[in-house]
Structure 1
Amino acid sequence: MSETTRNVQPVIANLGKESAGELVPSRYAVRVGDVDVVLISDGMLPLPTSTMSTNVNEADRNDWFDSRFLQRDMFDWALNIALVRSGDRLILIDSGVGDGFEYFTRAGRSVMRLESAGIDLAAITDIVITHMHMDHVGGLNVDGVKARLRPDVRIHVSAAEVEFWKAPDFSKTVMPETVPPALRKAAAKFVQLYGENIVPFHQTVQVATGVSARVTGGHTPGHSVVDIASNGEKLTFVGDAIFEVGFDNPEWQNGFEHEPEVAVDVRIALLNEAADTGALLAAAHIAFPSIGHIAKNGTGFRFVPVPWDY
């Protein structure tokens, strides 16, 4: 080992430690007209690759993962949330996975990263939950979080989503066996903690000037996306409607989809919408910061990430 290598190693080793800050940026801000949007990484979820393509054969799935230089059995699934400021309203979109899941030790960073960005939880006026899976409501379930939120915080969830989780149907999902019980538990705890704050909506709701949510269904019966539009510019946060494998293969079904056939139609419609309008798109499970445009590419689509603005 050279002297140069020995001198560099301690510096590299310390880069990711708290005293030196995070090794990789965990938040990225853009402006959509007059609205500020910040994408925040909650971390990474290790999941079986089989969950990304439950209706195709293993060889086709392997080909796609091989083409991305990814392992064939397990892969790291990005998990992102968003924070939006419109006028005097500060809106959180989803909350990450939270804690208490021993198999998700590299996620659950949302609250910490909001704090590191200088965000006081008490400043949040509204929360939009795209759907009530544990990696979207779990951050709100963490001990102590509710006490730090304002008592009158409005939590916008579609009425269909709230109703679904009273007796959720997993008959069309293909998940690891440990996941459904965890999903039920997280959804029930969320409703128990925040029932008085939930503001259910049916088809659409305007949360703030230029910020609205609309029900798409598919991933879950009440799954919603969030549209941010201002001064002729638009960004849609699509939650779990679109995954990275879905650009090339939008017809591939996901094991976490409760209505897989509907989810395919929703995915294609959202991709066509973004491609036709040129609007920006961001998502919960596209590699951070997940912001880009959609271009049509034969029978599929192509994700075009925006250049990072330093």
Structure 2
Amino acid sequence: MSLNITSHPERAPSELVPSRYAVQVGDIDVLVISDGVLPLPTKMLGHNADPDVRAAWLNDMFLPPDAFDWSLNVVLVKSGGQTILIDAGLGLDPNLNLPRAGQLIMRLEAAGIDLGAVTDVVLTHMHMDHVGGLLVDGVKERLRPDLRIHVAAAEVTFWEAPDFTYVDMPPGFPDALRATAKRFADAYRSQLYLFDQEHEVAPGVIVRRTGGHTPGHSIVRMASGGDRLTFAGDAVFTVGFEHPDWHNGFEHDPKEAARVRVRLLTELAATGEQLVATHLPFPSVGRVAVDGDAFRWVPAFWDY
């Protein structure tokens, strides 16, 4: 099986924009794949922020004031003979009317990637836009029967009785998140490989629990030959560099999520390693710089 990883982004023949982008981390192959976009209210970027300050930030970023499209990125990794899918996208949820997300399976096929070749799945957390792709009709039957799904034990426990006290989501989302997490746990419980704090999935590929966004939220660190890349899941959002203290509407423990974000961004700025995150603009490959008492996102120049 080949990941068909090349040194430049490609596009499916029927699409107008690239939907996958390859990065080399030493001997580790990394492919960032777009699962599409989620149109969400701008308030969710910082529901604890002063509305005027939030509006000014959106205006400075040339973003619409009420709602805009959040990118939804998934990562495929090949290391030590293992093929690892990090998160699985939204899948299909007709009740939420999100037709431009849930593209992962189609885009894996367009990249020539066989679902049956995936040996491991790592979940940063169990929100529906990270597990839903595994619930699409016919997908489970195409996966290996010995597929290992790595997820923090705290995440599985949380979704047995989830707490939505501190979130600020559009109507319908809490019910959809709760239902999707239950469906996923019921469908894949026998294939879950639980860890407490940190676990090496493959050579140079380590998943580490951060908490905050959800109790079991995790990031994935990749290191090989002096190169490093972190997939931050939902620990970092676009606004989080300039305003790391703003609370995202999907954060179940927003104060802890802000502390996690600052610690992670401080570390990434110090190491200079590459960052990819779920909801940064595709392909979301870049680095972090310190900017006064906040941070600055430095997108990578695309390698054509």
Using the size of structure 1 for normalisation, the TM-score is: 0.93
* Secondary structure class of the residue paired with 1:193: helix
* Secondary structure class of the residue paired with 2:75: strand
Q: What letter corresponds to residue 49 of structure 2 in structure 1? A: V
Structure 1 residue 177: Cα displacement: 1.8
Identify the match of residue 104 of structure 1 among 98, 102, 106.
98
Structure 1 residue 21: Cα displacement: 2.8
Distance 1:73 1:103 in 2: 18
Distance 2:137 2:192 in 1: 19
Of all paired residues, the percent bearing the same amino acid is 57
Structure 1 residue 300: Cα displacement: 1.1
Match of 1:46 in 2: 39
Structure 1 residue 22: Cα displacement: 1.2
* Secondary structure class of the residue paired with 1:84: strand
Identify the match of residue 123 of structure 1 among 117, 130, 139.
117
Distance 1:113 1:139 in 2: 12
Structure 1 residue 54: Cα displacement: 1.2
Distance 2:262 2:204 in 1: 24
Using the size of structure 2 for normalisation, the TM-score is: 0.95
Structure 2: stretches of 5+ with no match in the other structure: 1-10
Identify the match of residue 28 of structure 1 among 21, 37, 42.
21
Structure 1 residue 172: Cα displacement: 0.6
Identify the match of residue 275 of structure 2 among 270, 278, 281.
281
* Secondary structure class of the residue paired with 1:163: helix
Q: For this pair of structures, how many residues does the alignment match?
A: 293
Superposed, 1:51-130 pairs within 5 Å as 51-101=44-94, 102-130=96-124
Distance 1:65 1:139 in 2: 31
Superposed, 1:228-267 pairs within 5 Å as 228-267=222-261
Distance 1:93 1:76 in 2: 21
Distance 1:252 1:171 in 2: 17
* Secondary structure class of the residue paired with 1:263: helix
Distance 2:265 2:54 in 1: 21
Superposed, 1:131-146 pairs within 5 Å as 131-146=125-140
Distance 1:306 1:70 in 2: 21
Between stretches 293-302 and 101-110, larger displacement belongs to: 101-110
Structure 1 residue 232: Cα displacement: 1.1
Structure 1 residue 103: Cα displacement: 2.0
Distance 1:110 1:270 in 2: 27
Superposed, 1:139-154 pairs within 5 Å as 139-154=133-148
Structure 1 residue 192: Cα displacement: 0.8
Structure 1: stretches of 5+ with no match in the other structure: 1-16
Structure 1 residue 56: Cα displacement: 1.1
Q: What letter corresponds to residue 101 of structure 2 in structure 1? A: A
- The structure with the larger Rg is 1
Structure 1 residue 68: Cα displacement: 1.0
1:41-82 Cα shifts (integer Å, max 9, x gaps): 000000000111111111011001101111111111000000
